[in-house]
Structure 1
Amino acid sequence: MSQQTATVDKRPAHQGANRMNERQGAGHTPHGRPAGETARTAEPSVSVRELDIAFGAHKVISGLDLDVSPGEFIVLLGPSGCGKSTLLNAIAGLLDISDGEIWIDGKNVTWAEPKDRGIGMVFQSYALYPRMSVEKNLSFGLRISKLPKAEIDGRVARVAELLQLDGLLKRRPSELSGGQRQRVAIGRALVRNVDVFLFDEPLSNLDAKLRNELRVEIKKLHQRLGNTMIYVTHDQIEAMTLADRIAVMRGGVIQQLGPPKEIYRKPVNRFVASFIGSPSMNFFEGELRGSADGSAGSSPDGPAFAPGGSGAAPSIPLARYDFIERAPSKSRPAVFGIRPEHIALGDQPDGHFSAEGKVDLVEAMGADTIVWTSLAGVPLTIRTDGETEIRPGETIRFGFDPASACLFDAATDLRL
């Protein structure tokens, strides 16, 4: 790693302004913040500024900004290859960056060694010393730092009690379950007494039951300690349940940054809408038609969305949709999105969209049932109560409140 001091910035003074202008495209506001993020006034605990990372000619992260407030739990969420682990490793100092700055607790640590950044990190693999006891695994880094024995013993005892490891201190990793090993790995980070913790997919090697248990423990740990935590995962359930804010990433760019409910209810683009939610949001390409004005493409019954596809389907009324004042009087290509859990079976109240479809598949999932049908020749999934009795081949009636839907521009994929 470069030997430049942590306070040196060798970029030309004008470079940041130029790069800010370059990034006023998809995924960023005119002020350089990721889309969906509001300005935050507190001095950030971690600040990533105009970050570029490239491996050879391949740029992995481009012009990324991220501010994390003290005590905040941020989750970096996205598919494989989106740059989330690369970003975390850059914050940790485990790889060189191409451009930009990284600040932790008010200090420019862009070129600082990992040990000098004041962070604790938990990896996907436990990376425990197999011949050492739990106690020695927890204390190893402190002993290397030559801390007084009394302080080491005190830190280990406190962390062991916090993570319910106090009865396992004499055991070796081979004598522990997967969940216990991961708790030891978390404990090794906690004994350092730092303010910032980084988690790189720490639960991905565990089975579903252990993942659920450890997820709850990590949430409780954050509530008790109040430390800043940055957590990487591809699992939306982990993101939605753990985060104060989620940064949804794609192609090295933060697509949207905001609280979980905001990400779910108001996705900024079609990618975010499709990535959050299970089953995924239903999408229909078609035309957005404005109010009747005698022009081609207008709707006689007011603003509406006309689904395309191979099958006939009634238009979806949009009079109650809050963006409709900005809709043109003439038609325009658009994409309509509705979540499976927002679709109800049976007759619908006035003002709701209603249609019929043949059931193609039924997935019984215990508490819920997923029903597969179609609308305008396009597959449609409905999430309904687990007690619902439906069989493939039946014709069902279903519908939804158009106000619960999302509309996206067909050309840009941005939410209207």
Structure 2
Amino acid sequence: MADIKALLTSVSTQLRKAQNALFGGKYEEARAQVESAAAGLAEAKAQDPLHVQIKTMESQVAKLQKDLAARSGKGSPAPATPPAAPLASAAGPASPALPAGVAKRIRDIRALLERKKVSDALGVLAEIEASYGGQFPGDHPDYVAIRETLAQAQAASDQASQAREQAAASARRQQDEMSRQSEEWLVRLRAFAPHGAATFGHFSQSVEDLLAQKTAHADALPVWQAFQAEPFPAGKSEQLAALEASLAASFEQFPSLLDRCKGELAGEVMAKIAACMENLGKEHEGLPAILGRTDREQIEQQVAALEPLLADDPARWQGLTAAMNELTARDQANRRERAGKIAPRADAYSGADAEPIRRCAEQLVLKECGGARAIQTVIYKPEWAESTQWESASGTQRLVTRRDIYAQVVADCAGARQLFTVYITKELRSDKTWSELGGNVMYSDEMAPP
């Protein structure tokens, strides 16, 4: 057996639906709801005949049945009390006055409808039927008019509610579509912007980094172009819009930024070449200057490193290689001129240890250039130069007395004749004897072939 509270709640709902259907002209639906409510009310009354709500609901059922009969034309029940005698007038019979409580509630309904409170107005109408049912004619013009007005207001309210629900559903669908499409593109765009910024479009002086940026830009560009062409009818999420703004800046500035980086790197090498060219125009000790090995190797390495970066910049690459070729040609010309002027100095030493000095110089040259063949060796200083000074050895300072002298060795080395200038030294031991000879090759100059 159903709980009486649940039964009465169901009956109340059915009566409200019947009332709404009646106002909307849906008589069959209203009749079905009234019959269902009457059955539920009978079951509730069997459980508790004295329940406070039963009498009120019975009045509502009776009133709805009467109104249904009147509106649907299927008979008209006799009124509970004889109608009041009509008042004669020139305009025709006048309607009887409504009970004061009904008239007040009709005014309340109008006020509620002006404030768009349709649900509250329906509640007031239910109060009229519950409290005053059978106490006034159901076809009273004021009562009929307010019911029709309320029915129209409810229909309009239902229509507005349906429109709001449709708009909300459309907004949800749009939001879902925006989220789906935005998330799809976030995944694709983040592939080359893992931390919210592109992996290209930033200044660098590293050729390796710039080449990596070029590759990343080339890989990302087709995806970016597809994204730009994609319609977003539902809009874009905030995350996607922010990423788009960041990437747009990177794509826009990358070409000019890359060109700037190329220009600065190539400019550094060009400046180095220009400085070397200027030096080659000078003389040192009456001999034309030549390009040092360190400078030459550094420039060659820098130019080689720039080649892949400047592969798509022929004008800049051609300018760089032309400057490099000009430097090489000038260096070779100076070397040829210099070689014709290079000759060993006069042999000026006649000490008893001259031969050991020469052998030491030749051994140092052989160590410098494996396979070298000595042609002539001279000692161009007339005597040893002796000095005493503090020197550091393994982090320890010690006072050292040493003797130094200089020699030159003419030797064939690596297919060319060269003049090696050699430093020779020996150190005074603690027992006042001199150490073995040592030293190093200071530099070499290419000589004219024999």
Same fold (TM over 0.5): no
| Greater per-residue strand proportion | 1
| Greater per-residue helix proportion | 2
Which of the pair has the greater relative contact order for Cα pairs under 8 Å at 6+ separation?
1
Larger Rg belongs to: 2
TM (norm. structure 1) is 0.20
